[in-house]
Structure 1
Amino acid sequence: MSSSAPQTLRIMDLALKAGEMLLSNGAGTADVSATMSSICRHLGLRGTYVDVTHIMLTMVHDQQLDEPPLLLRRNVVRRETDFEDVTAIDRLVSDLLNDEIDLDEARSRLAAIQTSGHARPRSVVVGASGLVGAGVALMLGGGLFVSLTAFVAAVAIELLRRPLEVRRLPDFYIQVVGGLCASLIAVSAAALSLPAPPSLVIAANIVVLLAGLGLMGAIQDALTGYHLTAVARLLEVMLATGGIVAGVSGGLMVGRMLGVDLGSGTIWPDLSHLPFVTIGAGIAAAGFAVQSYAPWSSSPVIALIGAGAGALSSALVQNGLDRPWGAGIAAFLIGVVSYPASRWLRVPALVMVVPAIVPLLPGLTIYRSLAQLAEENLSGISSGITATAVALALAAGVILGEYAAQPLGRETRRLERRLSGPRLVGPFRAKSKRK
């Protein structure tokens, strides 16, 4: 028996608001669509059409043949990486589909999530951003002073970005400011003859700026058949990355004008540095988890996964494997391990995998490309291609790992065929509520 129009609109409104929060926080289009459809099916709506694009969610419900369809839309007006909201929505939907809460309680909880803000102090988030920079600098072979300088630069970037985001400045310009800030701090340290190689400080903070750009969602959309949304997300990532390149290039130009030796020949540390790579990767992964409001209980596990992935990738590269392949294999194992860990912690897999791949982002390769091109060395083009390949390998490797890790039972296989890929957010199965 079909629901009345007001009840139908309440169900559609719940699904739309949940989908909007997931999409704005980096969830893949397949996950968002499936979650919204699961809510509607479970609450008794049939014939509901869900359409998700990069900036708009649309739901259409066909009523009787002699009645006009009901249509609701919501625009995605803000984008950020907030795993606290993602986890809360995921648990809400799971409770709803397991009949632990009803529609009214689900709507009430959703309204509370939307208006609750963050319990984590802003100072903790800023400090965690600094830990990402310090951890990556330690990975790249920097000592205590280099890590401290990278920490200061990352904190400065975070303090600058916040007021710009509040003023709704486009991400491109925010990334320009961030890249310029990091490179100017590195240049200043080198001009004062401080023991902090600019290449390591800048490379570490390129990773800080790259983290959370949404590449995972873009690649997931491309691999699961949502090509239009994937192109939009990739363009957004490319613009933000272009902003980083522009900002860092400006800082390097200032350094050359001041006669500062910036260096472009930085190499990966050898296997003797592997313990520091492991520790640095764990610090960077945990730092980004805290910065992006992941649940506290998940941070130690994310640190362990990130540390292992960083050590594996470094060891593979030092033994002759190409960087994209090393990064891809490490990312694959992140996907495999993160799935059971996320089920154990009751958080979406997305919350685990995004922070864990942060230490593997190609900050040093991007810096090397810029420095070489600034010296009119065409090898910088090859380095840029390598950086792109590493980024794609990370996203594709994680998603392949999720394919391998998720159960192959009858229900899941049927769901995978419907979704054209593994789930990083949302329930695996839902029972239809009979009315």
Structure 2
Amino acid sequence: MAEPDLPPTQQIPVTNRLALTLDFCLRLGEVLLSSGAGAADVTVTMLSVARALGASEAQFDITFTSLSASHQSSPDQPPLLATRQVVQRTIDYQDLTRVDHLVRDVAAGRVGLRDARAELGRITSTGHARPRWAVTAGWAVMAAGVGVQLGGDVIVAVLAALAAVLIDRLQLRISRRRLPTFYSQVAGGAVATLVAVGAAVVDGQVGLDIDVSLVVTANIIMLLAGIGFMGALQDALTGFYITAGARITEALLATAGIIAGVSGGLSLASALGVDLPTVEPGATNIQAAGLAVAGAALAAAAFAFASYSPARVLVPIAVVAGLAMAITQSIQTPGIGRAWAVAFAALFVGLVGYAVARRLRVPPLIVVVSSVVPLLPGIAIYRGLSLVSEGSRRDTSLGLVALIGAASVALALAAGVILGEYLAQPLGREMRRVETRLAGPRLVGPVTLLERRVGQASRKGRRQRADGQRR
């Protein structure tokens, strides 16, 4: 299929066009996958783009660190194969939004292959409009919001923000040296613990009664916020078990890094002769409902800001996250288990997130993931792994119980969000035929446009067949 807007002398040969189309789809998939999109969404988006560009026989596969594509026009011809490695995994919602708009333009026929490849190159090669120091400030505000959500006062919020600034700048230096994420998580946990211990030593002389455990806990949640729990569980629920297992392993390894960093910080302080206070990482206080809602809203909006989300979605995300926290607390208070309370809140996020994202022209993934960050069971996962690492039989049993509870909350969170997307984003009959193998709600990708195009083509075909029968 040649470019319609080019003279014959500049048209791309069929074989070259297929190769360029597959390469373009794989590059799109790399951006989506590295930004936390589910494997089902990425695969369907690549299939949709390939078919819009004329490669109707294209097939794609994802195995967490690699993307593969194949195209075979007929059984008697050799297939065309292409692969691409996912080498960088950083949440970048600005690039995700721009790629989502590009996919919609390609699916609607407004952009051809040449222009689409050029635009994708500009998206991945240009920097951000938001300066890096502003991102650091966003992480600081998020840690402060989490500290308030957990029951801390103003001093806890300030110390959590200070530790977040130090952690972000240190992790930025580590990432520039291409070290694995595990080591940056170790460094982050150690910095959070040393800041809390230092504040406790000063507090012993001044007498401000600082709850340093909440400082460590707030930064633990900040470190866990960027881990793709939602993407992993979405992959598991939609049938991509290999990718889901790999993502869950990555999340557990990152959590283990935090545990190592926190214990290392406490050991270093003890070795230096510092009189250690009582530090309980993962501790929380009973917080008033109003402050918990405000802290959750602030943390969610700050996370979205630090992840380069468009500025127009920050206030809606804060509102959705605050309402979700209010639902969780109001349902959990009468005695309903936390998993069910989180599930109802996640269902609300899934229902509202699609409408908000559609109105603001951003992928629903941005609204959903940012809004559920305050509900993630990061503390339960941290406690479970910490107890398991102690080694005793009693601690191991308690740790397994905590991990099972965390898994139930995480599953309830993902299942509630996806069910909400099912209810808010129903797929048409024709679209279900196209996506039978990958049926599921779309957090990324132009479902509405493609459904309209497929439906129009189907109706046109039915009209033509009816006209032929009348003739």
TMscore range, shorter length: over 0.9
Residues 1:99 and 2:99 aligned together: no
Which of the residues 128, 137, 142 maps onto 1:132? 142
Structure 1 residue aligned with 2:436: 417
User: Where does structure 2 lack aligned partners over 5 or more consecutive residues?
Assistant: 3-12, 458-471
* Separation of aligned partners in 2, 1:177 and 1:421: 38
What secondary structure is seen at the aligned counterpart in 2 of 1:419? coil
User: Amino acid of the residue matched to residue 445 of structure 2?
Assistant: G
Give 1:346 shift: 0.9
Which of the residues 415, 431, 439 maps onto 1:396? 415
User: Amino acid of the residue matched to residue 358 of structure 2?
Assistant: R
* Separation of aligned partners in 1, 2:336 and 2:285: 13
| Residues 192-231 of structure 1: pairs in structure 2 closer than 5 A | 192-193=202-203, 194-231=208-245
* Separation of aligned partners in 1, 2:123 and 2:368: 23
Tell me if the contact between 1:199 and 1:367 (Cα under 8 Å) persists in the aligned partners.
no
TM-score, length-normalised on structure 1? 0.92
Tell me if the contact between 2:200 and 2:277 (Cα under 8 Å) persists in the aligned partners.
yes
Structure 2 residue aligned with 1:355: 370
Give 1:399 shift: 1.7
* Separation of aligned partners in 2, 1:191 and 1:383: 31
User: Amino acid of the residue matched to residue 405 of structure 1?
Assistant: A
* Separation of aligned partners in 1, 2:385 and 2:255: 12
- Bigger drift between 332-341 and 415-424 goes to 415-424
* Separation of aligned partners in 1, 2:386 and 2:69: 49
Give 1:222 shift: 0.8
Give 1:367 shift: 5.8
User: Amino acid of the residue matched to residue 416 of structure 2?
Assistant: G
| Residues 16-415 of structure 1: pairs in structure 2 closer than 5 A | 16-193=26-203, 194-254=208-268, 258-263=275-280, 266-270=283-287, 273-366=288-381, 378=395, 379=398, 381-414=400-433
- Bigger drift between 233-242 and 309-318 goes to 309-318
* Separation of aligned partners in 1, 2:114 and 2:335: 58
What secondary structure is seen at the aligned counterpart in 1 of 2:436? helix
Tell me if the contact between 2:92 and 2:309 (Cα under 8 Å) persists in the aligned partners.
yes
What secondary structure is seen at the aligned counterpart in 2 of 1:261? coil
Give RMSD over aligned pairs: 2.5
Greater C-alpha radius of gyration: 2
Give 1:416 shift: 5.6
1:133-191 Cα shifts (integer Å, max 9, x gaps):
10011011111111111111111111111111111111111111111111221122112
C-alpha distance 130-31 of structure 1, shift in aligned 2 (>3 A): same
C-alpha distance 370-241 of structure 1, shift in aligned 2 (>3 A): closer
What secondary structure is seen at the aligned counterpart in 2 of 1:150? helix
C-alpha distance 197-268 of structure 1, shift in aligned 2 (>3 A): closer
- Bigger drift between 103-112 and 191-200 goes to 191-200
1:83-120 Cα shifts (integer Å, max 9, x gaps):
11111111101011112222221111111101112111
Q: Percent identity?
A: 45
* Separation of aligned partners in 1, 2:381 and 2:269: 17
User: Amino acid of the residue matched to residue 349 of structure 1?
Assistant: P
* Separation of aligned partners in 2, 1:409 and 1:313: 32
User: Amino acid of the residue matched to residue 417 of structure 2?
Assistant: V
* Separation of aligned partners in 1, 2:67 and 2:429: 30
What secondary structure is seen at the aligned counterpart in 2 of 1:420? coil
Tell me if the contact between 2:282 and 2:379 (Cα under 8 Å) persists in the aligned partners.
no
* Separation of aligned partners in 1, 2:106 and 2:81: 23
Tell me if the contact between 2:214 and 2:281 (Cα under 8 Å) persists in the aligned partners.
no
C-alpha distance 99-370 of structure 1, shift in aligned 2 (>3 A): closer
User: Where does structure 1 lack aligned partners over 5 or more consecutive residues?
Assistant: none
Q: How many residues align?
A: 432
